[in-house]
């Protein structure tokens, strides 16, 4: 098995996983990533990749579409099934439009036909890593906001959803069967616990909560 890490840097640095049954191609890709100062590791098939790789690592996967013992699409399905969100770039020697559409619909970030221009692949990898970084930031922010929401009492949550729906305090009081003063107190508590200094920020956080529900 060729499993060569071309840079021994911090594991926090994004990694490019190469999965290709062609040994010459694996070596060429590792060389390409080495000279462009990217951390990379290669595997000859999906099974060895899944056994040894950190599928939750920051980075992306560059995988050959057609490999004996399991295609790139098979690997994509397995990654999805285990909850991995690593971006995938497919390499293929065949211009198979239906397959490429299927791969992209399943979440692939790019589909590159061999032989390819090195710069095109490098740009695809940079784009995939950027998307992964942005997704991780969004996930982290979602986790933080869910943590804030968990500190709300049931009544405060009721007030939160009424307020972000656009209702005024008087309307919220009517809907919940409580006094307007009680609504005001709950609203102040919600703003404090959700760390929001404006209604716009509270609405943004509520939208993230709904998306992650």
pLDDT, tens digit, for every residue of 140-159? 999 999 999 999 999 999 99
Give domain limits for the chain.
15-136, 151-212
Task: Check if 15-136 and 151-212 are the same fold.
Answer: no
Number of neighbours of residue 94 by Cβ within 10 angstroms: 11
Pick the CATH number of 151-212 from 1.10.10.10, 3.40.50.10800, 1.10.3720.10, 3.40.50.410: 1.10.10.10
Please tell me the distance from the alpha carbon of residue 80 to that of residue 50, in angstroms, as a whole number. Answer: 12
Percent of the chain exceeding pLDDT 70 equals 91
pLDDT, tens digit, for every residue of 21-80? 999 999 999 999 999 999 999 999 999 999 999 999 999 999 998 888 788 889 999 999
CATH of segment(s) 15-136: 3.40.50.2300
Structural tokens at position 19: 């999965």
Q: pTM surpassing 0.85?
A: no
Considering only CA atoms, which of 105, 68, 60, 101 is closest in space to residue 84?
A: 60
């Amino acid at each position: 098995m060729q499993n060569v890490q071309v840079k021994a840097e911090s594991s926090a640095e994004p990694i490019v996983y190469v999965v290709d049954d062609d040994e010459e191609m694996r070596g060429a890709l590792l060389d390409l990533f080495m000279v462009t100062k990217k951390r990379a590791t290669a595997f000859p098939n999906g099974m060895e990749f899944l056994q040894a790789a950190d599928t939750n690592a920051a980075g992306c996967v560059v995988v050959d579409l057609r490999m004996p013992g399991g295609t790139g699409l098979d690997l994509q399905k397995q990654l999805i099934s285990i909850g991995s969100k690593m971006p995938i770039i497919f390499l293929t020697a065949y211009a198979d439009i239906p397959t490429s559409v299927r791969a992209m619909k399943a979440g692939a970030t790019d589909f590159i036909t061999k032989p390819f221009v090195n710069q095109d692949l490098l740009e695809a990898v940079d784009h995939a890593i950027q998307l992964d970084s942005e997704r991780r930031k969004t996930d982290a922010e979602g986790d933080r906001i869910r943590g804030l929401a968990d500190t709300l009492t049931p009544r405060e949550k009721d007030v939160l959803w009424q307020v972000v729906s656009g209702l005024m305090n008087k309307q919220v009081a009517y809907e919940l069967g409580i006094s307007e003063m009680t609504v005001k107190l709950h609203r102040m508590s919600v703003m404090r616990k959700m760390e929001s200094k404006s209604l716009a920020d509270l609405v943004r956080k509520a939208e993230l909560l709904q998306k992650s529900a």
